[in-house]
Structure 1
Amino acid sequence: MRAIGGLWRWRHNPLRRGTDLAEAWVALAAIVLIVAVVPLVGVAVGAAAQSALQQSVRDQRAARHEVAATVVRKLALGPMDPDPETAAGRDAHSRVMANWTAPDGTSQHGAVTAALKSPVPGDHFTIWTDLHGRTVPRPLDGATATTHAVLAGFGVVVMAVGLVEGGRRLIVWRMVLRRYVRWDRAWDKAGPDWGRTGAGS
């Protein structure tokens, strides 16, 4: 609103400088970009991210399978266990040696993370594997994908607003610098006659 008011105020003002009007136009252009264009860009980026992430969800659900595994024995955890899942939820997860059958029918055996607090041999739990029984992370779910898409769109909006405002400030700063240069030149011309009677007449 200040930009519109600035344009109106400087419209027929005899004291108006070219930079005053240009500064008001730059502010108005920035407002239009922020209000009308930036949200559309954010929506477009969010929609594109949503489409890509939902495709990833479908692909992962097709390629990853939840299978039942049986505990053979519990494994001791080292002090520097690199598995982020066990590091984040050490109390609720345990490292075990287990057996499972892959979706392709082959028998598998190996060390996996079980969602069991105190596993004992014979306990059953589920793990995610590929078609050949190799363990893989849990597939991305639709709600998480949507959340990531919304955050991507919002992040683009924030970044675009920052770029528009930064560009506006840079342009205005350059205008002010040029204005100061012109003022210095005008003062230099008036300087030798400053204070004399009848100077400038």
Structure 2
Amino acid sequence: MHAIIGLWRWRHNPLRRTTDLVEAWLALAALLLVLVGAPLVGAVVGASAQEALLRSVREQREDRQQVAATVVRKLSRGPLAPDPETSSARDTRSRVVADWTAPDGTPRHGTVIAALKSPRPGDHFPLWTDLHGGIVGRPLDSATAATHAVLAGFGAAVLSAGLVAGARRLIVGHMIRRRHARWDQAWDKAGPDWGKAGTGS
């Protein structure tokens, strides 16, 4: 709004300098880029991120299977690697030795983290594996992918707006420094006698 008012104010003003008009147009261009360009960049980045994330979701769903594992024995409590996709507390997960069958039918045995508070031998729990029975993380779900895409788009829009505002400030700052340099040159030309009677006559 300030940019539009600035342009209107300088339209027919006899004191208008070229730099005043350039600054007003620059402010208007920056405003339009922030209001139109930044959201457009955010939308494009968000759509691209969502497409890539949904492709990853599909690939993970094809490559990962949930199988039923059976607790053989509980291990002493050690450092746990919590799943970043869940909000499970530390005391609801335990390290256990377990048996499970891979999706390709191969029997597997190993140490895993079970989503059980007090596991006992024979307890069953879900376990995500690859097609050969190797332990993998839970696949990304569509809602989480969409959230990440929205955050990516919002971040891109904010970054774009910040870059436009920063570029405008740099250009205006450069123009002001040049204007001050010209004023200094004009004062130097006027000399120390400026304002005295008979100067310049």
Q: TM-score range by the shorter chain?
A: over 0.9
For residue 60 of structure 2, what is the aligned residue in structure 1?
A: 60
User: Following the alignment from structure 1 to structure 2, what is the Cα–Cα distance between the partners of residues 60 and 43?
Assistant: 25
- Report whether the alignment pairs 1:43 with 2:43: yes
Paired residue secondary structure (1:192)? coil
User: Following the alignment from structure 1 to structure 2, what is the Cα–Cα distance between the partners of residues 34 and 125?
Assistant: 51
Paired residue secondary structure (1:185)? helix
User: Following the alignment from structure 1 to structure 2, what is the Cα–Cα distance between the partners of residues 200 and 5?
Assistant: 39
User: Following the alignment from structure 2 to structure 1, what is the Cα–Cα distance between the partners of residues 120 and 145?
Assistant: 35
* Per-residue deviation, 1:53: 0.3
Report 1:46-195 matches (<5 A).
46-78=46-78, 81=79, 83-85=81-83, 89-195=89-195
User: Following the alignment from structure 1 to structure 2, what is the Cα–Cα distance between the partners of residues 82 and 143?
Assistant: 26
Do 1:193 and 1:200's aligned partners in 2 also have CA atoms closer than 8 Å? no
Do 2:82 and 2:90's aligned partners in 1 also have CA atoms closer than 8 Å? no
Unpaired segments ≥5 residues, structure 1? none
Deviation beyond 4 Å, 4+ runs, structure 1 = none
User: Following the alignment from structure 1 to structure 2, what is the Cα–Cα distance between the partners of residues 85 and 54?
Assistant: 20
For residue 9 of structure 2, what is the aligned residue in structure 1?
A: 9
For residue 18 of structure 2, what is the aligned residue in structure 1?
A: 18
User: Number of residues paired by the alignment?
Assistant: 198
| Greater shift in the superposed pair: 125-134 or 185-194 | 185-194
* Per-residue deviation, 1:35: 1.1
User: Following the alignment from structure 1 to structure 2, what is the Cα–Cα distance between the partners of residues 63 and 170?
Assistant: 50
* Per-residue deviation, 1:12: 1.3
For residue 198 of structure 2, what is the aligned residue in structure 1?
A: 198
User: Following the alignment from structure 2 to structure 1, what is the Cα–Cα distance between the partners of residues 180 and 143?
Assistant: 55
User: Following the alignment from structure 1 to structure 2, what is the Cα–Cα distance between the partners of residues 96 and 187?
Assistant: 84
Once the two structures are superposed, residues 15-57 of structure 1 have per-residue CA deviations (whole angstroms, 9 ceiling, x without a partner) of 1111100000100110111111111111011001111101100
For the aligned residue pairs, the C-alpha RMSD in angstroms reads 1.4
Paired residue secondary structure (2:37)? helix
Unpaired segments ≥5 residues, structure 2? none
Once the two structures are superposed, residues 129-182 of structure 1 have per-residue CA deviations (whole angstroms, 9 ceiling, x without a partner) of 001100000000000000000000000000000000000000000000000001
The percentage of counterpart residues that share the same residue type is 67
**Residue type matched to 2:81 in 1?**
D
User: Following the alignment from structure 2 to structure 1, what is the Cα–Cα distance between the partners of residues 80 and 188?
Assistant: 70
Do 2:80 and 2:113's aligned partners in 1 also have CA atoms closer than 8 Å? no
